Chains A and B, each alone.
Chain A
Amino acid sequence: MADFPVVNQASLPTHIHALYSFFGVGGESRSYAATATPAAITWVANTAVYIPFQVPWPYPVYRVWWMNGSTITSTNVDCGIYSPGGDLLYSTGSTAASGATSVQYVSVGTPFTLDAGRYYMAWTCSNTTSRGYGVAPTAVQGALLGCLSQTSALPLPASATFATYGAPGVSLCGITRTSSGF
């Protein structure tokens, strides 16, 4: 007999988006004309964007994923998850981008479960022209979405120093409870 609410994990979405999801900033981004369909973004090297998202139930994380830009030569990416207070919970480490305008998955070493709650998805890369992929709100729009950023953040730091949003974009990235496929 369960003393606590039971969540049927089989019905959880396979992917959680930090951007295009009501679990992330998707609901708010709908209000801004600039935050429409995603595209390649010219990034600012080593600048991290922190995108707030939440899961209303425990969510098992097997892989993180992001969409690469249309150019990936000489590009490393770091993608991770932070607590609301800025503690790094997981990161891929500096990882060579693979597959232009393609989804890239990285398996976490040991799958873990995010407790129900709020987090930040973080994304940064080492290069610039068309390396990112997502949407590019204005600085004010990005801030009002709850996004934050940090310069000189590759690899992602163990403790984030959140700054007012000044990243070039909000990346298409997220987590998945699948260990393979897709």
Chain B
Amino acid sequence: MPDFPNVNLQPVKHAVSSIGRGTIIGDYALCTNTTSGAAVWPTANKALFVQFGIDFHFLVKQIGVQVTTQSGNLDVGIYNSVGVRLVSKGTTAVAAAGLQALDVTDTWLPPGLYYMAMAVDNGTAAFQRFTVTTVESLRVLGVREMTSAFVLPDPVTFANPTTSAYVPMITLTGNATL
């Protein structure tokens, strides 16, 4: 047992966002004063992964996204830093425009580095997303991808984004209600 408190990287949070503090891309978003916008999913069956780190134990009950155009199916989930899937929703019909809250199996995340993930089976559905000017820069902003990855695979083979600078807006929460 340590004599001193663990060093906190961030305050204990109720919800963790793909572009919040705790993500590299989140700092970039704040620093560039760039806001999100709606865009169609870049490629059918592509999965996108956004790195996040937590230094507190975090229970995930729900995963939320913002739909702007309904079409087909999506899948959301969480992976550890080496690409092992910890939890996923499975194929789910994309909801009507607005908040889509996906109830996942309650999953405790110990302090560590993870990826929140999203995959969509078509290129018509659209979601609120963040973007950057140069897709190449996503390599150092903690964003990864995998093609032909619907439903979310286990494990994943991470690749660097090369064609689309699409960063899905995803929120994890420990609340039963999102």
- Tell me the A residues contacting B by CB distance below 8 Å: 1-8, 10-15, 17, 19-22, 26-27, 29-30, 35-39, 56-57, 65, 67, 101-103, 172, 174, 176, 181-182
A144 to chain B, nearest CB (A): 15
Contact A103 B133, beta carbon cutoff 8 Å: no
Interface centre among A11, A26, A103 (most CB of B within 10 A): A11
- What are 7 of the A-B contact pairs (CB < 8 Å)? A3-B4, A4-B4, A14-B24, A15-B140, A17-B140, A37-B32, A101-B134
- Tell me the B residues contacting A by CB distance below 8 Å: 1-7, 9, 21, 24, 27-28, 30-34, 51, 53-55, 81, 111-113, 132-134, 136-137, 139-142, 158, 160
Q: Which residues of B contact A65 (CB under 8 A)?
A: 140
Given contacts A30-B30, A37-B132, contact A14 B51 (CB under 8 A): yes
Q: Which residues of A contact B53 (CB under 8 A)?
A: 11-13
In angstroms, Cα B142 to Cα A1, docked, is 33
Contact B54 A30, beta carbon cutoff 8 Å: no
In angstroms, Cα B4 to Cα A39, docked, is 44
B48 to chain A, nearest CB (A): 15
Contact B27 A17, beta carbon cutoff 8 Å: yes
Given contacts A17-B27, A38-B134, contact A2 B33 (CB under 8 A): no
Contact B55 A8, beta carbon cutoff 8 Å: yes
Q: Which residues of A contact B54 (CB under 8 A)?
A: 11
Contact A172 B137, beta carbon cutoff 8 Å: yes
**Closest 9 A/B residue pairs (Cβ):** A26-B31, A2-B2, A11-B53, A20-B28, A5-B7, A10-B112, A37-B133, A8-B111, A20-B31
